[in-house]
Amino acid sequence: MNNDDLAYIDENLRIIRERCAEAKEKYRSPGDKVRIMAVTKTVAPEAVNHAVKLGIDLLGENRVQEYLSKADLYDKSAEVQFIGHLQTNKVKYIINTVSMIQSVDSLKLGQEISRLAVKNGRVMDILCEVNIGGEDSKSGIAPSGLKELISGLSELEGVRIRGLMTIPPPSDSDIFLGRMKELYDSISSEYSGMDILSMGMTHDYAEAIRYGSTLVRVGTGLFGARDYSK
């Protein structure tokens, strides 16, 4: 990458931080925290590490194989969380190197995370992924099944439910962000220890902050358009 590419990241991050700050000031309490996650799908490690040098301390990985190919090249000062659809047979590859798995949408997956976490002497933080828009193309538990899933997950050793994650439909996203906020408020009032609502991406992160997001996941808005055929 050349200096112009890196300068592009500098400017994008400045804009993201500015928009996040504006949304927080307008819609949230002064003490509210909102983390910015850099989503690194198809992004070169050099670009990722440049973002880390600018103060990004949280990376989001979508695909296990890609993550394994880049993990050793990343600046180790940044925390890595897994945010993509995760097959149970691939949990073993990430159980010791990520700090959180945001995409838990079945008890079967939770059980495998639990088994491997216990085997490796650790507790894995997880989020339950909710398909708030009911889209066939997306993973996630239906809102109607969320309580049953959390009830089952809460019985497992080696996992700690920290909250919810969602990817709302891009059209009318504010409606679905609002519904997700209501769902999170209801669920978190019943289950202690929940403090993370992960929602908001490049096109809607400011709006997500309005609706209570504590963690926004920004990829294209930070690194530019990527070649997803890779």
CATH number of 71's domain:
3.20.20.10
- Taking the C-alpha atoms of residue 209 and residue 171, their distance in angstroms, rounded to an integer, is 17
Pairing mode, strands 35-39 and 124-130: unpaired
How far apart CA 178 and CA 170 sit, in angstroms, is 13
pLDDT given at position 172: 86
**What pLDDT does residue 227 have?**
63
Q: Examine residue 85 and state whether it is found in any structural domain, yes or no.
A: yes
Q: Within the chain, what is the greatest distance between any pair of CA atoms? A: 51
Can you give the pLDDT at residue 156?
98
Q: How many domains does the chain have?
A: 1
Name all contacts of 206-210 with Cβ < 8 Å and 24+ positions apart: 206/19, 206/20, 206/22, 206/23, 207/23, 207/173, 207/174, 207/177, 208/177, 209/20, 209/23, 209/24, 209/27, 209/28, 209/34, 210/23, 210/26, 210/27, 210/28, 210/174, 210/177
The reported pLDDT for the residue numbered 3 is 75
Strand partners, 129: 165
Exposure string for 5-33, b = 16+ CB within 10 A, e = fewer: eeebbeebbeebeebbeebbeeebeeeee
CB 148 within 8 A of CB 179: no
Range of the domain at 140: 3-221
Phi-psi region of 25 (alpha: psi -120 to 50; beta: other; left: phi over 0): alpha
Task: Write down the pLDDT at residue 147.
Answer: 97
The whole-number pLDDT of residue 204 equals 96
Residues contacting 88, CB < 8 A, separation 6+: 108, 109, 112
H or E element that contains 159: strand 159-166
Q: What is the pLDDT of residue 1?
A: 65
Residue 110 covered by a domain: yes
In a domain, 21, yes or no: yes
Q: Is residue 81 part of a domain?
A: yes
Residue 137 resides in a domain: yes
The verdict on residue 179 lying in a domain is: yes
Q: For the chain, which residues score pLDDT lower than 50?
A: 230
72 vs 49, 66, 132, CA distance in Å? 12, 12, 35
DSSP bridge partners of 130:
141, 166
Residue 153 is assigned to a structural domain of this protein: yes
